Structure 1
């Protein structure tokens, strides 16, 4: 019985294929089995050109964003400045923030920012030049030496 079913299935598909071939005899003959080399080369060229345009747009947009970032807002005369930060744990930090003339100690956790203390006397931080790490000092010396000649 299994053989009869498979024969019947084969015959059904065979009879369906014959009318399709009769209706479109030129369809199989006109489509080449292997695409031409010129067509493939043209498609690869178009693909590479499109890829180059997309990559060029990405670089252009990155350049524009970089140029506009400096013009969007003031950098050196910001009203709110982060003076110091101290990690207490993986997600907890203490922040010393200056707003105008007032310094505020903030507690920062994963879900909250809590003002802990408003300082009556501002904390005086050491100059950043004195606190520069040894590597940065050495790099500055090398850059100065290269700029002189």
Structure 2
């Protein structure tokens, strides 16, 4: 019994003393961060990549839509007025003719063809609301004071 016990105790020491064979190569395994911090970092970086892609595509779509032909369109929207939650009156100019249309969710109805076109104020002179005008005055006065 004593002999078996000594043999078992000597076995780990003999394994440590043995040299590995010459054909065996040691390959270091790459360290992979499998902790919570590594997973969280990977999740945040992936989310930022997806959000960046969404914003880049939205910017590109806006740029492409703006480059479309704006001048020389035959049909122009002159004015629009909401009548209810889903109903609208729309004044449209087609060539030299202006047409008043009624829009509902399921139908577009021509209501009146105007004999004389309505004069539309130029868009270069935008009407400044009273609040905006006063705010600009106050800010202008604040800048002048040291």
Q: So what's the TM-score if we normalise by structure 1? A: 0.57
Pair 92,63 (structure 1): closer, same or farther in 2 beyond 3 Å: closer
Residue 57 (str. 1) matches residue 53 (str. 2): yes
What's the CA shift string for 1:47-72, capped at 9, x where partnerless? Answer: 2221221122112212212221211x
Q: From the two aligned structures, give the one with the greater helix fraction.
A: 1
Q: Distance in 2 between matches of 1:133 and 1:44?
A: 49
Displacement after TM superposition at 1:96 (Å): 1.1
Kindly name which structure, 1 or 2, has the bigger radius of gyration based on alpha carbons: 2
Find the counterpart in structure 2 of residue 74 from structure 1. Answer: 69
Return 5+ residue gaps in structure 1 as ranges: 1-37
Displacement after TM superposition at 1:82 (Å): 1.5
Return 5+ residue gaps in structure 2 as ranges: 1-32
Aligned-pair RMSD on alpha carbons? 2.8
Q: Distance in 2 between matches of 1:91 and 1:49?
A: 43
Find the counterpart in structure 2 of residue 117 from structure 1. Answer: 112
Find the counterpart in structure 1 of residue 91 from structure 2. Answer: 96
Q: Distance in 2 between matches of 1:64 and 1:140?
A: 34
Give 1:1-149 correspondences, 5 Å limit.
Answer: 38-40=33-35, 41-71=37-67, 73-128=68-123, 129=125, 131-137=127-133
Find the counterpart in structure 2 of residue 33 from structure 1. Answer: none
Pair 95,54 (structure 1): closer, same or farther in 2 beyond 3 Å: same
Q: Distance in 2 between matches of 1:138 and 1:74?
A: 37
What's the CA shift string for 1:5-26, capped at 9, x where partnerless? Answer: xxxxxxxxxxxxxxxxxxxxxx
